[in-house]
Amino acid sequence: MEGARLILVATPIGNLGDLSPRSVEALTNADSVACEDTRRTGSLFSHFGIAHGPFIVCNEHTEKAAAAEVVKRIAGGQRVALVSDAGTPAVSDPGRRVVEAVIAAGQTVVSIPGASAVLVALTVSGLVTDRFCFEGFLPRKGRERGERIAELADERRTAVLFEAPHRLAKTVADLADSLGSERSIVLARELTKRYEEIWRGTLGEAVEHTSTVEPRGEYVLVLEGAPVREITEASLIDALTAELSAGATRRDAVDTVVSMTGAKKRQVYDLALQLDDMS
């Protein structure tokens, strides 16, 4: 960790015992610290007896200015640590613009791993962990929200999402409406904290659960991937017929069905020709 650079330091998501000795050393030796909230970071530093240099406020409103300040300080020979309020900075937290600016300036970026709500929830979920995707917070409303949820309907990988307690019930209900009530989901809250809770069930059961239990604390949602659809000649013909009836050209219908099903294009094209011969 010698020399001027940006050091990303993951901080505890709840249990303070998760801050590693290496992280404490890096924070102690940093010349400056960029953080979301000086009070929260100050409390963390006080707990561990970390003497620190000046704080640079880096939140959603100040990140652009903070990025420029960090680049300036590194150019002046400083080691600058970047932390968020909890977890790994730059992942659903401020920091990405800072990293981009430092890299663009040709300066060094290193990361010290630590607590991750994504991985904690994923590994205790009991769902498939070999392949997964991280969606963060869904858009709160509008077309973009609908499009993101529609993408999850066909996403075969396990998906991990974040949600605030006051929006949990709506998000679960929206997922159930689009993905069906049988898809498995895990609701994890207050991870690593005293009142940590892991709830497992189907989306239909989750709708009922969130309507009867007051959600408290930040949530991580782990969603089962979409089931592999059986591809039969009949199902491909049905899909082609639906696309053609909606006004799609043969080429567009073939491309859409191939994209939806993963079937071989030659097979779908031949079926489209058969439909032409039958019409």
Backbone angles phi, psi at 17, to 5 degrees: -65, -10
Those residues with Cβ within 8 angstroms of residue 7's Cβ, 6 or more apart along the chain or in another chain? 1, 26, 30, 79, 80, 81, 82, 110, 111, 112
| The pLDDT value given to residue 2 | 74
262-276 exposure pattern, b = at least 16 Cβ within 10 A, e = fewer: ebeeebbbebbeeee
Q: Supply the pLDDT for residue 279.
A: 63
**Token pair 């959603």 in the structure block, residue:** 60
Classify 186 as helix, strand or coil: strand
pLDDT at 222: 98
pLDDT of residue 54: 84
Instruction: Return the pLDDT at 259.
Output: 80
pLDDT given at position 1: 63
Q: Closest by alpha carbon to 83, among 50, 46, 123, 112?
A: 112
Give me the average pLDDT of each 10-residue run along the chain (279 residues): 90 95 95 96 96 90 96 97 95 94 97 95 96 95 92 93 96 95 96 95 97 92 88 88 90 88 88 82
**Token duo for residue 239:** 């899909």
Nearest to 174 by CA among 155, 154, 201, 147: 147
User: Which pLDDT score is estimated for 107?
Assistant: 97
Position 154 scores a pLDDT of: 84
Cα(269)–Cα(246) distance, integer angstroms: 18
pLDDT at 132: 96
**Rounded distance, CA 227 to CA 156, Å?**
7
- The C-alpha angle with vertex 268 and arms to 262 and 271, in degrees rounded to 5, equals 150
